[in-house]
């Protein structure tokens, strides 16, 4: 499902030691383990266990799901009674793998608090909703009929009923974990789609929530899908403006915007065949690379300043006939997306919480055609969701959350998927909120510069008052690469 994943989106080691959890309560049997960002990555010591939940929360006789839990202990022998709970994005990513990838961003919080991790149902080690589909169905520029056929194949192979893998059900699992472990309150951190989960948990369980950090905010009012191509185009335009304003970049790539237009038109008219070694495995491969593949690569390269720095060089190399660097980026991105996202859970969320509201979004076909992504992604989502069963959706789910719980909202000025305006929408009824925006930053701020300290101070005090935030003005955005030896000085 690599193409559906890239178009649709958005670990134990050693000999386990059995024993009861030593924190508040004793309702979950845990064992020593190591969690990892993926195969081959170093492990982080934790205590792991299984939370069992009914597939249908309204029917205790429905099949039982095993949900994977990991607790990374605080760095103190006397941790605070309210843990820190990260929630991954996607939708479809494993929270445990996400935390293992970005653990250093949360070390300030971990000084005094346990980190509690729950792979959301349908992801990672929690009844993963991955599906079988023949990649031949979705190679190249596939039709609506091919997309529907691949989606039906996916549905037929899912291990569980997709109607019960939405955000509205997932927050019930998280509350059940809080109760099981005996914590009085949680400090939530959500990234990307995880911001939607964090906001809805706050809505449904305000007394269980001490503080919330939402990073790359998906406002409840927004139906993610129609605006993706628009925001991606805005981000690419900003990259081209940054290059033009940078003397070294402008001197090296003086005509980058026109070059990109020419490259896009050329690939739309005729794909190229690239013969190369797979950048991950080294195996020889033959890749058909067209404008769709280029759009998928550029959209995700736009997420982070370090990969943004490569974009003008990659475009320049391709327009001059060297497609290897850009194709390699596409292959690595598509493989990463395929491995990271559980497409069945992804579709369960999007087709219940977003697609039914696409018609209310004021985006015209002409506006989509004017973007480098075009209408393809939206059409793929609409095709997939035309056959996907609608799931559980709580009342008022699409309304902004009204709360006085302290909330820290984080945005990147150059975010290609959740721009700062989305955080402003989310904050409209939050009475105790602070919104911080990183200049020239992309999607996800937690690990950038001084942000771990700000998050740590916020969670420690559970207050937006007195936070030292001036340091975010010094956040680093990598200069553009002028060649493959590195960025400009």
Q: Render pLDDT for 130-146 as a digit per residue (tens, 0 to 9).
A: 987 644 333 335 788 98
Q: How confident is the model at residue 374 (pLDDT cuts 50, 70, 90)?
A: very high
Nearest to 91 by CA among 227, 202, 225: 225
Statement: residue 209 has pLDDT above 50: yes
CB 239 within 8 A of CB 212: no
CB 123 within 8 A of CB 90: yes
pLDDT score, position 387: 97
Percent residues over pLDDT 70 in the chain: 92
Looking at per-residue confidence, does 64 or 9 come out higher?
A: 64
pLDDT score, position 280: 77
- For residue 319, the tally of other CB atoms under 10 A from its CB is 19
Relative to beta strand 407-412, strand 433-438 is parallel
Averaged pLDDT for residues 58-69 = 96
pLDDT score, position 439: 93
Averaged pLDDT for residues 20-47 = 78
Q: Is 256 exposed, middle or buried (0-12, 13-18, 19+ CB in 10 A)?
A: buried
Percent residues over pLDDT 90 in the chain: 81
Statement: residue 7 has pLDDT above 70: no
Question: pLDDT tens-digit profile of 233-255?
Answer: 999 999 999 999 999 999 999 99
pLDDT score, position 446: 97
The pair of structure tokens assigned to 346 is 């992804």
pLDDT score, position 125: 96
- Residue 140, SS3 per DSSP: coil
pLDDT score, position 489: 66
Averaged pLDDT for residues 209-216 = 98
Nearest to 43 by CA among 32, 35, 51: 35
Question: pLDDT tens-digit profile of 274-318?
Answer: 999 888 788 898 999 999 999 999 999 999 999 999 999 999 999
pLDDT score, position 37: 87
Question: pLDDT tens-digit profile of 92-124?
Answer: 999 999 999 999 999 999 999 999 999 999 999
Mean model confidence pLDDT for the chain: 91
pLDDT score, position 5: 40
CB 351 within 8 A of CB 385: yes
Question: pLDDT tens-digit profile of 157-188?
Answer: 999 999 999 999 999 999 999 999 999 999 99
Distance CA 352, CA 396 (A): 14
Q: Indicate the helix (H) or strand (E) that contains 258.
A: helix 256-269
DSSP string, 421-450: HHHHHHTTTBSSEEEEEETT--S--TTSTT
Q: Global pTM?
A: 0.93
pLDDT score, position 39: 79
Domains of the chain, start order = 1-224+343-364+389-489 (3.40.50.1820), 228-340 (no CATH)
Tell me the helix, strand and coil percentages in the chain, rounded to 5: 40, 15, 40
DSSP string, 276-307: EE-TTT--EEEEEE-HHHHHHHHHHHTTSHHH
pLDDT score, position 415: 96
pLDDT score, position 138: 37
Residue 470 carries which DSSP code?
G
Q: Which of 12-21, 160-169, 381-390 has the lowest mean pLDDT?
A: 12-21
Distance CA 99, CA 127 (A): 19
Alpha-carbon Rg for the chain, nearest whole angstrom, is 22
Q: For residue 112, what are the contacts with CB-CB under 8 A and spacing of at least 6?
A: 74, 75, 76, 79, 80, 460
CB 351 within 8 A of CB 292: no
Q: Is 185 exposed, middle or buried (0-12, 13-18, 19+ CB in 10 A)?
A: middle
Averaged pLDDT for residues 205-217 = 98
pLDDT score, position 14: 27
CB 88 within 8 A of CB 434: no
Averaged pLDDT for residues 329-353 = 89
Looking at per-residue confidence, does 395 or 16 come out higher?
A: 395
pLDDT score, position 141: 53
């Amino acid at each position: 499902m690599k193409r559906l994943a890239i178009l649709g989106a958005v670990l134990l080691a050693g000999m386990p030691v059995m024993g009861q959890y030593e924190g508040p309560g004793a309702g979950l049997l845990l064992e020593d383990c190591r969690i990892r960002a993926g195969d081959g990555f170093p492990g982080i010591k934790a205590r792991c266990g299984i939370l069992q939940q009914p597939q249908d929360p309204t029917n205790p006789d429905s099949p039982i799901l095993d949900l994977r839990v990991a607790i990374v202990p605080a760095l103190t022998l006397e941790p605070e009674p309210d843990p820190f709970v990260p929630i991954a994005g996607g939708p479809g990513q494993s929270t445990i793998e996400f935390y293992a990838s970005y653990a250093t961003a949360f070390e300030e919080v971990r000084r005094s608090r346990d980190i509690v991790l729950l792979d959301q149902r349908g992801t990672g080690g929690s009844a993963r909703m991955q599906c079988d589909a023949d990649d031949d169905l979705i190679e190249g520029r596939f039709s609506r009929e091919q997309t529907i056929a691949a989606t039906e194949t996916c549905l037929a192979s899912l291990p569980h009923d997709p109607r019960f893998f939405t955000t509205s059900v997932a927050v019930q699992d998280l509350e059940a974990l809080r109760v099981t472990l005996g914590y009085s309150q949680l400090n939530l951190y959500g990234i990307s789609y995880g911001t939607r989960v964090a906001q809805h948990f706050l809505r449904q369980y305000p007394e269980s929530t001490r503080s919330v950090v939402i990073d790359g905010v998906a406002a409840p009012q927004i139906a993610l899908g129609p605006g993706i191509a628009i925001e991606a185009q805005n981000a690419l335009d900003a990259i081209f403006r940054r290059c033009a304003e940078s003397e070294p970049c402008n001197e090296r790539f003086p005509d980058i915007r026109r070059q990109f237009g020419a490259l896009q038109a050329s690939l739309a008219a005729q794909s190229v065949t690239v013969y190369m070694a797979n950048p991950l495995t080294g195996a020889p491969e033959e890749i058909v690379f067209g404008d769709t593949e280029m759009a998928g690569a550029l959209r995700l390269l736009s997420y982070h300043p370090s990969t943004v720095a490569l974009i003008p060089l990659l475009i320049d190399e391709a327009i001059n006939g060297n497609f290897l660097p850009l194709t390699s980026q596409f292959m690595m991105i598509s493989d990463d997306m395929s491995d990271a996202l559980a497409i069945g859970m992804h579709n369960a969320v999007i087709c219940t919480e977003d697609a039914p509201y696409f018609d209310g979004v004021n985006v015209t076909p002409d506006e989509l055609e004017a973007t480098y992504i075009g209408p393809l992604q939206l059409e793929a989502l609409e095709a997939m969701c035309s056959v996907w069963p609608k799931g559980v959706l709580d009342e008022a789910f699409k309304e902004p959350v009204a709360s006085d719980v302290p909330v820290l909202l984080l945005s990147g000025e150059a975010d290609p998927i959740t721009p700062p305006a989305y955080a402003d929408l989310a904050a409209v009824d939050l009475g105790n909120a602070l919104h911080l925006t990183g200049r020239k930053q992309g999607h996800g701020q937690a690990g950038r510069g001084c942000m771990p300290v700000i998050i740590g101070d916020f969670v420690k005090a559970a207050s937006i008052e007195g936070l030292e935030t001036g340091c975010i003005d010094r956040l680093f955005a990598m200069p553009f690469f002028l060649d493959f030896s590195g960025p400009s000085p």
